Structure 1
Amino acid sequence: MRKPLLSLVAVLGLAACATTPVGPPPPPPPPSGAVAVAIPANIAAAVSDPTRPATDMVRDSDRLPGEVLAFAGVKSGAKVADLIPGGGYFTRIFAKAVGPKGKVYAYVPDELTKLAKREPAVNAVARDPAYKNVTVILNTLPNFAAPEKLDLVFTAQNYHDMHNKFMGPADLAAVNRAIFRSLKPGGVYLVIDHSAEAGSGLRDTEGLHRIDSAVVKSEVTAAGFVFEGESPVLRDPADKRAVSVFDPSIRGKTDQFVYKFRKPAGAR
């Protein structure tokens, strides 16, 4: 399982103390590629909220929600859309991180509800009095929109599925343009997904549920977004990207990219 990088540095420091007989040891170098991530107070409180389901909290060491939301820049009072929220793992954290003056729109595509033939699981979050700032939106993917301009549109481990048959497949050019329009100038579009082999394009979206990150970057920037950077916190070089993300040997430990795109400040 992945561990927060600051915790790893602390463990290495304790190991150094145990093996040095005299005097304080020099601080250990950080692991190769490691970047210490400062978690803002609003996000730290949201992640540690004791009312979160235990089944969600046990996934934190693999999903690192604090580091991810810090990279996205989630602030109190923000307006956020959680695109394809599933059971609401991130929806709950967003709701607490943005606070009562913020708003979270859990956007569930009609394509999914027709397939599932049941109400979206995230409806239970919106009905919970502890999450009064959550609203579920049911609509098709190309018609993505919210009742107000957004600070952040977020989707985790879903982008590849929008290219798959059971989702239409969706017209990603239209979806990304709709997301662009929904954001405030300077707003962020954050995409997390399972990495496919470099150069594989869309080959593995259906079979392995992975996508070549270069495709995502190309499609999203074509809608007018500027690629602002990547967080390495969910990278895992041990994943050879050759098996399905549901394979027991790799499930929960896939190499994932976290891409941050921004709508230019002067865009409408």
Structure 2
Amino acid sequence: MKNTLLKSIALLAITLAFTSCSDDDNAVNNVSGTGTIGIEFDNSFAGNDLILNTQPNTTSNGEVLKISTIKYIVSNIVLIKADGSVFTYPKSESYFIVDEANANTHVLNLSNVPAGDYTKIKFGIGVDQEQFNLGASGQGDFLALAQAADMLWSWSAGYKFLAFEGTFTSPTVTTATPFMVHTGQTGTDYNYTEITLDMPSKALVRNTITPVVHIVADLSEIIDGTNKIKLSDNNMGGMGAMIMGGANLPLITANLNSMFRIDHVHND
């Protein structure tokens, strides 16, 4: 009797496992309809998870930064399938602000995405010139969102594409001194850039599977990437180091192209 009971339990466990695997296979193979995908942005500095205000972050130039603010506009999201076909997220819905201080902004949830196996993502940092040229009335709800988030200098001056702020010290600046790095339109330089990233594994968008693409942003790349920018060289005395234009801004914009990488993809 005991052996019969054990055999029955084992058979039931095998049956349940087989059924579960079959259900999982059906979910993965049912490539139809639409689903949702999350794009998560996780800020770091040179391999360390970012902690605002208190964490000392050292650059290759020996400058030590304590970051109080990091915000950037993510826009014009495009998802690319393994076969090369492209899904462009609706432009009117494709403007977001990622703010380290606001956890609710860290994951961008994209809905009504065609089911498929996606292997690349492309997105902009900033607001593209075509959108800006629509004028204030053509910005929809995003203009008010940017104003509330302090990501707009003024309508005539345009959006802040990235706001990177805090204090720093250096071998020549020994007292904690404010710094501000803001990218955006300055003179003839528009400073909008687009980034394309390969996914380490496929994002399986299904009506029963909501993948999350985990993107790590290395903030050290802003001033310590291919182009090395010293905050101490931009120190304006009592005002601190202010980089909001000039020759450094296109160099910083170029650095943003290596600021992001995809760490992993969850398919849950």
Q: Report the TM-score range of the alignment, normalised by the length of the smaller protein.
A: under 0.3
Larger % of strand: which? 2
Larger % of helix: which? 1
Q: TM-score scaled to structure 1, two decimals?
A: 0.26
Q: TM-score scaled to structure 2, two decimals?
A: 0.26
Higher RCO (CA-CA < 8 Å; seq separation 6+): 2
Determine which structure has more spread, i.e. the larger CA radius of gyration: 2
